Structures are given as structure tokens and as C-alpha cells.
Amino acid sequence: MEELFDAHTHLCLSSEDIPKYAFGWITPFLIKSDARASFVAKWLHRIIPFTKKDQLDRLSMLVKQNILSSRQRCEKYFKIFSGANVLLMDLEGSMNAGITIRSYEDQIIEAIQLKKEFNIKIYMFINPDRENMMDLVKKYYNDIDGYKYYPPLCGHIDNHFMNILLDEYPKDNVIIHTTNTSPIYDKNEDKEFCANMAHPSYCIPLINKFKKINFIFAHCGGIQWMIDCVTICSKYKNAYVDISYTFENEDLWKELNHIITLIPKKILFGTDWYMINFNNFLKIKNIDIMLKNNKRIFKL
């Protein structure tokens, strides 16, 4: 088997980066509850039927992993994996859900320090609404390896800022959150409206314009947009998908394994750790194919 390079992780995401009310009123309590998080999530899900289980499960995972420092998480993670893309998340004031404990720039600085010790590539979160976004890109351009874009927070990707960014400060790869479900979105907008901003078709103008840049649809489009992603990847040379988070759902395994056979050179191995348990991903039937693609796309 090829070395396990993970295209999609959140190794540097901390509870200190989560706005106070990101997951609603329960957030301030849960982000302080360390080892009790899993129990609390299950208990709340039982007594509050309208609470969305997916949100609680993700927050539970976040809290449990944040018992460890980012360095400790890396030490644990790299006992199994050989390398990883670290996707940063800029939630500082971008969700209208309260403040974060540490600044987004502090998260970037921590990732750069960890890069000196571990085999990671840094993907800077691009938020067009951040006043100093371009200044941060310029300041850390030589330290980062690519861009992460999250439409439920930032709107569709084909916007004025992204066109300027990719023209003046190009990177080889842009990873885009691509499902119509998201626990994190602009709290000033309707959740469904925000989620639909992630449809892969919004990226087509950029795919056409920036042919030397690879555009990677994270989560394989989710169950709703898998076929849309396959269609785009089949048509455009610089369009790809990663399978992050998808293999957490065993009901999707058969369909995902089929999609891997449809676009074998366009599908990348990624987990979304630590938002999931990565054990399922190590059982994937066609993992070698995807790891070879990772090696080529990420220039390993």
C-alpha cells in the first residue's frame, strides 16, 4: 500500500477557534466539558428530540480531541498517517455566532510551527469578507500550500475576491467544502440557502479560467451532489473530489466504491479527521488508487 497521505484534516482546529454560539446555546457548556462531551451529546440527543444529532456528534468529537494540544494530536495521528493537508478554519467573527478565544492569525502561526515538526501542508481558509484577508495571504503566502474555501460561510466561490486572489496569488490546489449539509454557516442567513452555495457548479467558471489550478470538491459532493461532482470531474481536467467524511456513513460505501471506478484518476483519499473516526477509511477497497492520485496532485 502507498503511504497514507490524508488530503483533508483539521489537525489545528481547536475549541478556541469555535465561536461562542456556533452550535447554539449549548456550545459554551460543551466546549468546556472535555471527557464528558460524548456522554453529554448522547444525553442531550435523547432528552431534546429536535436537537440535530450530527451537530452534537461533531461538537462532541471536537471537544474530546481538544483534551489534547495540536502537537499531541499530530503525534497521535502520525503514528498511522505519513502526511496530511491541514485545513484551517476562520470562524473568528465570520459566523455572527459570537467571538472566538484565539485569533485566526494565531491558528495560522501554530500550523506553521507544526509544519517544522510534522509532514503537513497548510491550506489557508479564505474569507472574502475579512478586512485583512489579502494582507494575511501576502504575509503567509510562502508558508502555505493551498487554499480552503467554505461556501456556507462565505457564499459561492466564483466571486470578485477569489478571481483576484487566484490571479495574483495562485496556488496549485483549492479545496472546497461541497455538500448541502453543514453544521457551520452564516447565522444571519437561512441555513438551506447557505448550504446550497456549496454546489459544485458555482466553481465551473473558475475551473475554466484557471486551468493550472486544481479544484477539489471535498466530501465527494455528499450524497446529494455526488453525480454532479462526477460529471464535472469527468469533463474538466483540473477538477477532483476527495472522499473526506463520506466513509463515516457505511450506507454509502457501495455507492462510493462505484464512483471510484467511474473517475479513478480524479478521486483523492481524505478523512476529515478529527471530525470522524478514521478507522473506516482504512478499510476502503480502492484506497491504493486514491493514494496514488494524492501523491501526484499534492506533489509528494
- Residue 49: band (very low, low, confident or very high) from pLDDT cuts 50, 70, 90: very low
88-92, 229-233, 238-242: range with lowest mean pLDDT = 88-92
Identify whether 61 is part of a domain.
Answer: no
With a cut of 70, say whether residue 23 has pLDDT above it.
Answer: no
Identify whether 283 is part of a domain.
Answer: yes
Identify whether 234 is part of a domain.
Answer: yes
Residue partners of 177: CB distance under 8 A and separation at least 6: 148, 149, 150, 151, 152, 198, 218, 219
The number of distinct structural domains making up the chain is: 1
Residue pair 26/58 in contact (Cβ under 8 Å)? The answer is no
Alpha-carbon span 157 to 73, nearest angstrom: 31
Task: Tally the residues of the chain.
Answer: 300
Identify whether 25 is part of a domain.
Answer: no
Percent of the chain with pLDDT over 90: 58
- Considering only the C-alpha atoms of the chain, give the largest distance between any 2 of them, rounded to a whole number of Å: 52
Could you list the residue range(s) of the whole structural domain that residue 169 is in?
A: 5-16+69-297
Identify whether 38 is part of a domain.
Answer: no
Q: What is the DSSP letter of 273?
A: B
* Helices first, then strands: H and E counts in the chain: 13, 8
Q: What is the pLDDT of residue 58?
A: 62
What is this structure's pTM? 0.90
pLDDT single digits (tens) 182-211: 778 887 888 899 999 999 999 999 999 999
In degrees, rounded to 5, the angle at the alpha carbon of residue 104 between the alpha carbons of residues 59 and 121 is: 85
Identify whether 290 is part of a domain.
Answer: yes
Identify whether 158 is part of a domain.
Answer: yes
User: Residue 206's domain is classified under what CATH number?
Assistant: 3.20.20.140
